[in-house]
Amino acid sequence: NAGVTQTPKFQVLKTGQSMTLQCAQDMNHNSMYWYRQDPGMGLRLIYYSASEGTTDKGEVPNGYNVSRLNKREFSLRLESAAPSQTSVYFCASSGREGRMSYEQYFGPGTRLTVT
């Protein structure tokens, strides 16, 4: 039981390049989330998926797209990376569909630098 896994762990991009961050969970959770973590700002929600086939914007969605590929996998895509997207990205999952009533389980994070 690996919990929530993320790939890659580290990535350096040039401005304008694209990439996809991968996330998978093996806990049979319905809901999955993408956050970014910046110094002094805590975690901010980018997108979430309350159930397979649905996605919704969070607090800071601009510049990102997501795909809920199946119940296990939730990917985050940067179409044209910008230096402002330099951050640590965390994927999380939780067991309750819709309203986030239960705790979220986090992956180890992806540290992204955009030059």
114 binds other proteins (CB under 8 A): no
Which residue from 4, 21, 23, 32 is in contact with other proteins, where contact means CB under 8 A? 4
Residues 6+ apart with CB under 8 A from 43: 35, 36, 37, 90
Nearer to other proteins (CB atom), residue 44 or residue 71 = 44
Instruction: Give the angle subtended at the CA of 60 by the CAs of 57 and 62, to the nearest 5°.
Output: 80
Which residue from 56, 70, 77, 84 is in contact with other proteins, where contact means CB under 8 A? 56
Residues 93, 59: Cα–Cα separation, whole Å: 17
Nearer to other proteins (CB atom), residue 17 or residue 30 = 30
Residues 60, 3: Cα–Cα separation, whole Å: 25
Query: What's phi and psi for 104, nearest 5 deg?
Result: -100, 145
- To other proteins, the closest distance from the beta carbon of 69 in angstroms equals 20
26 binds other proteins (CB under 8 A): no
Which residue from 11, 22, 52, 58 is in contact with other proteins, where contact means CB under 8 A? 58
32 binds other proteins (CB under 8 A): no
